[in-house]
């Protein structure tokens, strides 16, 4: 069997790339699971990019237009007039993208795992059967523990975090998410509550399972109302190279993920667009260069993450005083962007009063952001 492009991994990144290339090239996708979805993921995606990337509307379960931020002793609300983020059904998202790709001519090999390269071919395992596929270009879109990344000797300089998430039945404000920044509950990340409907929410955090248990208790969510539990991991940092010979990494396999929130669907899809252009132009090497926007966001996000890890809860309370002020809320409500954290942070730091107050909290780290 021979293809122009063999995509390893049928997650959002791999399926999106397949949908972009199918019909223009001979494309195949191998997916080790027997069905799509099932990964631990809150499925919150910025509206602007969701529309821009032309993701399927039928995967949208809910839209949110605001957020309530809680620290240990304070809270403030950000309210926008229009929806800022969608909450999506991952299975429907992945399956719809795959369906579109197959309709345009892509071949799918489900229940088929990539195990390595041999003599320039991909070695695959389907049930008890081993077979090989040759392609001109191979894409590793096989997630954070990428076998393709290992096969090309890619190296990671990253913080790997375990994430825990539940779906819980309760009474929720349908168009507002909750973000809890309290190191006494979740020492190394924030905890989130994202409504799927008025009566169902996805609640999670990164760190350890005790952090989630503590959060559920403090948020007064009944453990016996949990109807789904999932765990997964993310890598915040760099994995290099993204291209080696005729092999490229995409999505979580390349750690294309926001270090501030661990959201990876949009960054993976933006890079998939650049990768599709590079493949179609026959210049795979241009892929990494053309993802410069995502790279700048990751680099800036890592600085924000470092800043967050260096703050004590007392510092966080001071940051909340600043961000909860009328002036800061006005800036956030008019200029914040769900995916562009450079733009959002710069808009805040451009205000002299806000900048002066934030510098007092952590002079060296805020200066490092400027
Ligand atoms: C708890 C948690 C919450 C999250 N919440 C959000 C969120 O709200 N919004 C957001 O944008 N992101 C979120 N993320 C991150 C998001 O899930 C990832 O960034 C996204 O799934 C990356 O997509 P991907 O296609 O690159 O990889 P994946 O979704 O991991 O897909 C990789 C695919 O490759 C397959 N595969 C793996 N190995 C092989 C192999 N050897 N052969 C063949 N196939 C293989 C896997 O079965 C899988 O289907 C969250 C992550 C976690 C852990």
Concatenate the DSSP letters of all residues of 40-77 into one string. ----EEEHHHHHHTT--GGGEEEEE-EEEEE-SS-EEE
Q: Are residues 186 and 285 in the same domain?
A: no
Measure the CA–CA gap between 362 and 355, rounded to whole angstroms. 11
Give yes or no for residue 142 CB within 6 A of ligand 1: yes
pLDDT at residue 1, as a whole number: 81
Residues 41 and 151 in one domain: yes
Geometric angle at alpha carbon 229, from 258 and 98, rounded to 5°: 60
In a domain, 65, yes or no: no
Same domain, 25 and 103: yes
Spell out the long-range contacts of 339-344 with Cβ–Cβ below 8 A and sequence spacing 24 or more.
Answer: 339/46, 339/48, 339/49, 339/258, 339/263, 339/266, 339/267, 339/297, 340/297, 341/258, 341/260, 341/297, 341/300, 341/301, 341/304, 342/296, 342/297, 342/300
Q: Which of 192, 286, 237, 274 is nearest to 252 (CA)?
A: 237
CA Rg, the chain, in Å?
A: 21
Residue 241: closest CA among 253, 227, 231, 232: 253
| 253 close to 141: Cβ distance less than 8 angstroms | yes
195 lines ligand 1 (CB under 6 A): no
| Domain containing residue 175 | 160-233
103, 191: one domain: no
Q: Ligand 1: does its nearest atom lie under 6 Å from the Cβ of 259?
A: no
Specify whether 7 is located in the same domain as 118.
Answer: yes
Distance 141 CA to ligand 1 centre (A): 9
Q: Is residue 307 part of a domain?
A: yes
* pTM for the predicted model, two decimal places: 0.97
Does the Cβ of 212 fall within 6 Å of ligand 1? no
Residues 6+ apart with CB under 8 A from 18: 7, 10, 27, 29, 97, 98, 101, 106
Probe target for ligand 1 pocket from 143, 228, 268, with the most ligand atoms within 8 Å of CB: 143
Which of residues 261, 280, 296 is at a domain's end?
Answer: 296
On whether both 197 and 340 belong to a single domain, the answer is no
Are residues 284 and 186 located together in one domain of the fold?
no
pLDDT in tens, the chain (370 residues): 899 999 999 999 999 999 999 999 999 999 999 999 999 999 999 999 999 999 999 999 999 999 999 999 999 999 999 999 999 999 999 999 999 999 999 999 999 999 999 999 999 999 999 999 999 999 999 999 999 999 999 999 999 999 999 999 999 999 999 999 999 999 999 999 999 999 999 999 999 999 999 999 999 999 999 999 999 999 999 999 999 999 999 999 999 999 999 999 999 999 999 999 999 999 999 999 999 999 999 999 999 999 999 999 999 999 999 999 999 999 999 988 899 989 989 999 899 999 999 988 888 767 777 7
One domain for residues 356 and 336: yes
Distance 39 CA to ligand 1 centre (A): 6
To 10 degrees, the CA torsion angle through 128, 131, 136, 138? 20
Protein residue with its CA nearest to atom 30 in ligand 1: 143
Judged on CB neighbours under 10 Å (0-12, 13-18, 19+), 281 is exposed
Q: Does the Cβ of 9 fall within 6 Å of ligand 1?
A: yes
My answer on whether 286 and 184 are in the same domain is no
Residue 359 lies in a domain: yes
CA distance 213 to 203: 11
Closest atom of ligand 1 to CA, residue 12: 25
Same domain, 38 and 145: yes
* Position in ligand 1 atom list of the atom nearest CA 9: 34
Ligand 1 mutation pick, 39, 101, 235, max ligand atoms within 8 A of CB:
39
Top mutation candidate among 11, 35, 130 for ligand 1, by most atoms within 8 Å of CB: 11
**282 and 353, same domain (yes or no):** no
Whether 177 and 224 map to the same domain: the answer is yes
CB 192 within 8 A of CB 166: no
In angstroms, the CA 103 to CA 298 distance is 34
- Closest residue (by CA) to atom 18 of ligand 1? 264
Task: Confirm whether 82 is domain-assigned.
Answer: no
Instruction: Report how far apart, in Å, the C-alpha atoms of 16 and of each of 5, 12, 85, 221 are.
Output: 14, 6, 19, 36
pLDDT confidence of residue 369? 74
Q: How many distinct structural domains can be found in the chain?
A: 3
């Amino acid at each position: 069997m021979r293809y122009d492009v063999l995509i390893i991994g049928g997650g959002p990144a791999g399926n999106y790339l397949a949908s972009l290339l199918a019909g223009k090239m001979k494309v195949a996708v191998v997916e080790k699971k027997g069905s799509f979805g099932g990964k631990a993921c809150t499925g919150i995606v910025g509206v602007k990019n969701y529309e821009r990337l032309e993701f399927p509307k039928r995967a949208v379960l809910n839209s949110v237009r605001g957020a309530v931020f809680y620290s240990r002793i304070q809270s403030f609300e950000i309210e926008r007039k229009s929806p800022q983020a969608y909450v999506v059904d991952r299975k429907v998202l992945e399956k719809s993208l795959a369906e579109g790709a197959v309709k345009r001519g892509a071949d799918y090999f489900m229940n088929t795992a990539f195990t390595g390269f041999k003599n320039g071919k991909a070695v695959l395992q389907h049930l008890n059967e081993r077979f090989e596929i040759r392609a001109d270009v191979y894409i590793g879109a096989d997630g954070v523990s990428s076998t393709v990344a290992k096969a090309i000797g890619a190296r990671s300089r990253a913080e790997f975090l375990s994430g825990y998430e539940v779906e819980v039945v309760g009474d929720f404000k349908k168009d507002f998410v909750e973000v809890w920044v309290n190191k006494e509950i979740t020492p190394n990340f924030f905890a989130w509550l994202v409504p799927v409907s008025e009566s169902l929410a996805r609640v999670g955090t990164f760190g350890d399972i005790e952090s989630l248990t503590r959060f559920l208790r403090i948020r007064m969510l009944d453990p016996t109302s949990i109807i789904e539990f999932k765990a997964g991991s993310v890598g915040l940092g760099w994995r290099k190279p993204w291209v080696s010979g005729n092999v490229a990494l995409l999505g979580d396999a390349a750690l294309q993920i926001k270090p501030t929130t661990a959201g990876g669907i949009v960054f993976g899809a933006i890079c998939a667009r650049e990768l599709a252009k590079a493949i179609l132009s026959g210049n795979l090497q241009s892929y990494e260069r053309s993802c410069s926007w995502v790279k700048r966001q990751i680099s800036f996000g890592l600085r924000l993450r470092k800043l967050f890890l260096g703050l004590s809860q007392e510092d966080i309370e001071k940051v909340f005083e600043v961000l909860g002020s009328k002036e800061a809320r006005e800036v956030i409500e008019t200029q914040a962007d769900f995916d562009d954290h450079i733009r959002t942070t710069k808009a805040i730091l451009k205000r002299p009063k806000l900048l002066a107050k934030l510098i007092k909290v952590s002079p060296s780290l805020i200066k490092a952001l400027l």
